[in-house]
Structure 1
Amino acid sequence: MIIAFSVTPLGVGEGVAEPVARAVRVVRDSGLPNRTDAMFTTVEGEWDEVMDVVKRAVEAVAEVAPRVSLVLKADIRQGVTDAMTSKVEALEHHLADTGDGATAVSE
């Protein structure tokens, strides 16, 4: 399964980088495949291990924020592994296709 989630500390002012870094550290330390961008952190693994990581990430932020908001989106497909990479590769393949059967070459 893949989960994309965002943890937002509330009640800490405008600067949220340090509390959010606490959540991202939990994800990175988990050893599960993950990726962080400006809006979400994506993590891949089995249900129990991924949900445990999300819970611990929220708890890490809650240690320094009086309130925490969590947004979560999940893609649940049994038996699928490495979907974080393969989904992007499939998209890039289609983007490289010029529509006439040829593939665009980047320089």
Structure 2
Amino acid sequence: MACHLLLSPRWAVTGMAAAYTLSYAIGLLLTALQLRQRTEGLLDGRRTCRTYARLTAAATGAGSAGWLIAHSRSHSLASVSWTPALSLTAGGITMLLLFLLLARLLRIGELRGLPGLG
């Protein structure tokens, strides 16, 4: 709600996304600290940080490419009522495929847990 009150309507959704990102990062940190305390130091913090850094890199690359594709499709297609759906579909497919490719290239081990991708 604060985003709608403090930010212009144009930036309210972006502000909410930033707030969610911050809250998840804080939650991850607190959870990791609690797990490390409960497992008496067995949690490998460096490995966890490396994994999240790789996931962030893959998601950033895929998200950027998906946005570019969706944005370029919305301007190049004729102005019809289904243009947003086509743009969203093109961007979403780009994001999915590129994320999987980048995750594999970055050797994100958790990818092996997904059926057919290990």
Q: TM-score, normalised by structure 1?
A: 0.30
| Higher share of residues assigned strand | 1
| Higher share of residues assigned helix | 2
Q: TM-score, normalised by structure 2?
A: 0.28
Q: Which has the larger radius of gyration?
A: 2
